[in-house]
Chain A
Amino acid sequence: EDQVTQSPEALRLQEGESSSLNCSYTVSGLRGLFWYRQDPGKGPEFLFTLYSAGEEKEKERLKATLTKKESFLHITAPKPEDSATYLCAVRAPGANNLFFGTGTRLTVIP
């Protein structure tokens, strides 16, 4: 059964304290791993898509990486505005829908 597991469930960082969020997956024939950001009361906002092991994507203070079993979202020198829930999702072969993990709730303290 396809599974997506995110860790930790919650993370508190001081402003400027870099860290990483983990997304491990068990999907045969991955057709994309997606990272989303979700703010309270809003829908998920697309950040990155990764397709093959070794691939990396960057956006401002965020960098996503992918291996054959997991993806990391690295946050460098975070700011309070980076506080949000970060969701990981995979698209399985033969499917057009996304299967989501339960997210990591990130709080960055000034």
Chain B
Amino acid sequence: DAGVIQSPRHEVTEMGQEVTLRCKPISGHNSLFWYRQTMMRGLELLIYFNNNVPIDDSGMPEDRFSAKMPNASFSTLKIQPSEPRDSAVYFCASILSQTAINPNYGYTFGSGTRLTVV
């Protein structure tokens, strides 16, 4: 099991540029979550998908952010145009929703993408 795979690990971009972050969930997991982590606000949910369908995107900061999940094994988070205040670590997590209430299972997180917008 390779775990949740995110790419790139680090991204440095100039203000105004488009940024695309990628996530491959654990095979067989049907719920996928995008979180953003900053020192000031900690981990915040941006959006989550269930069976590839967006369920809750209320955490997406504004129209500059968009997320897609074209199939069960891939999701993207896009920021266009990027701004310095978007600098943060972006995490993807996945779980098999039927096990979400199983006390032995937790949501599995990727290693994150550290985004710096200058």
Q: Is the interface of B mostly helix, strand, loop or mixed?
A: strand
* Interface pairs (8), CB distance under 8 Å: A43-B109, A43-B111, A43-B112, A45-B109, A51-B101, A96-B50, A96-B55, A100-B35
Tally of contact residues, A, Cβ under 8 A:
28
* Interface window among B41-49, B64-72, B73-81: B41-49
- Judge whether A49 and B33 touch: CB under 8 Å: no
B82 at the interface (CB under 8 A from A): no
B23 to chain A, nearest CB (A): 11
**A43-B91, A44-B43, A97-B56 are contacts. A51–B103 as well, Cβ < 8 Å?**
yes
Give the size category of B's interface with A. Answer: 20 to 34
- Which 6 interchain pairs have the tightest Cβ spacing? A46-B106, A43-B109, A102-B42, A100-B43, A44-B109, A97-B45
Name the residue of chain A whose CB is nearest to the CB of B44: A100
B9 to chain A, nearest CB (A): 9
Q: Within 8 Å CB of A41, what residues of B? A: 111-112
What is B's interface to A at a CB cutoff of 8 Å? Answer: 4, 31, 33, 35, 41-45, 48, 50, 55-56, 91, 93, 95, 97, 100-101, 103-112
> Which of A45, A46, A51, A99 has the most chain B CB atoms closer than 10 A to its own CB?
A46
Q: Within 8 Å CB of A47, what residues of B? A: 106
Q: Which of A43, A48, A49, A99 is close to B110, meaning CB atoms less than 8 Å apart?
A: A43
Q: Which of B4, B42, B48, B95 is close to A100, meaning CB atoms less than 8 Å apart?
A: B42
- Judge whether B48 and A34 touch: CB under 8 Å: no
Q: Within 8 Å CB of A32, what residues of B? A: 100-101
Q: Which of B42, B103, B108 is close to A101, meaning CB atoms less than 8 Å apart?
A: B42
> Which of A41, A43, A87, A97 has the most chain B CB atoms closer than 10 A to its own CB?
A43
